[in-house]
């Protein structure tokens, strides 16, 4: 039985990267495949959230955004709407340094608290794109989307959250630009 339903957000436009960062070559496959493997190992399952025409060839389960154009909030809403259990581990596709151990610890914390969202907080602030979410948060997230509040760090302020202060900020080092990618592979 999976500990949580695992989801990887991969529907972004990758404007700053100039090409689809989810499909950047990484290890023996792509960046999104790497993150999906880490999420599957921690949660017990994984589903991509993004356009099927871009990711269908990866042979991973995929769901599309219910409402395209809402950014990460739309992806989280779509994941929670299809979540078969009480906990959803939702991770952005652009975190090459994320580890199974870190995500396992995050799920362990989520099992011990009752909250809409269990999210890490690093020296860079809250990390809502690497968090364990409850489907109970879905009405509040849909309300935020309807109101046009799309910034995730703002949205989580209106939820019952459990914050985990972490020292390991490197797991959240994402790749948004060619320079980020060059530094990551440098």
Span 124-135, pLDDT tens digits: 889 999 999 999
Give CA separation, 73 vs 1, 8, 51, 145, in Å.
27, 13, 15, 7
Span 124-182, pLDDT tens digits: 889 999 999 999 999 999 999 999 999 998 899 889 999 999 987 778 877 777 677 77
Question: CA 93 to CA 178: how far, in whole Å?
Answer: 16
**What was the pLDDT predicted at 107?**
96
Q: How far is CA 54 from the centre of its chain?
A: 18
DSSP per-residue string spanning 14-28: -TTTTS-GGGSEETT
Confidence of residue 105 (pLDDT cuts 50, 70, 90): very high
**What was the pLDDT predicted at 1?**
59
Query: Is the pLDDT higher at 56 or at 33?
Result: 33
**What was the pLDDT predicted at 21?**
83
Structure tokens at 141: 């997230």
Structure tokens at 106: 């995050």
Is domain 5-185 annotated with CATH 3.90.550.10?
yes
Q: Does the global pTM surpass 0.75?
A: yes
**What was the pLDDT predicted at 124?**
85
Instruction: Assess contact for 152 and 128: CB atoms under 8 A.
Output: yes
To the nearest whole percent, how much of the chain has pLDDT over 90? 63
């Amino acid at each position: 039985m999976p500990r949580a339903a695992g989801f990887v957000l991969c529907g972004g436009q990758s404007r700053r990267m100039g090409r689809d960062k989810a499909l950047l070559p990484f290890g023996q496959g792509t960046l999104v495949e790497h993150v999906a493997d880490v999420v599957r190992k921690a949660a017990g399952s994984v589903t991509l959230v993004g356009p099927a025409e871009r990711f269908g060839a990866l042979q991973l389960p995929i769901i599309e955004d219910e409402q395209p154009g809402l950014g990460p909030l739309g992806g989280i809403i779509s994941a929670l709407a299809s979540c078969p259990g009480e906990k959803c581990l939702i991770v952005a596709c652009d975190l090459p340094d994320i580890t199974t151990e870190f995500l396992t610890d995050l799920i362990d914390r989520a099992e011990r608290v009752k909250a809409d969202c269990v999210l890490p907080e690093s020296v860079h602030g809250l990390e809502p794109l690497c968090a364990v979410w409850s489907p109970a948060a879905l009405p509040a997230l849909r309300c935020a989307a309807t109101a046009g509040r799309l910034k995730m760090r703002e949205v989580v302020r209106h939820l019952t959250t459990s914050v985990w202060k972490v020292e390991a900020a490197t797991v959240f080092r994402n790749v948004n630009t060619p320079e980020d990618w060059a530094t990551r592979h440098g």
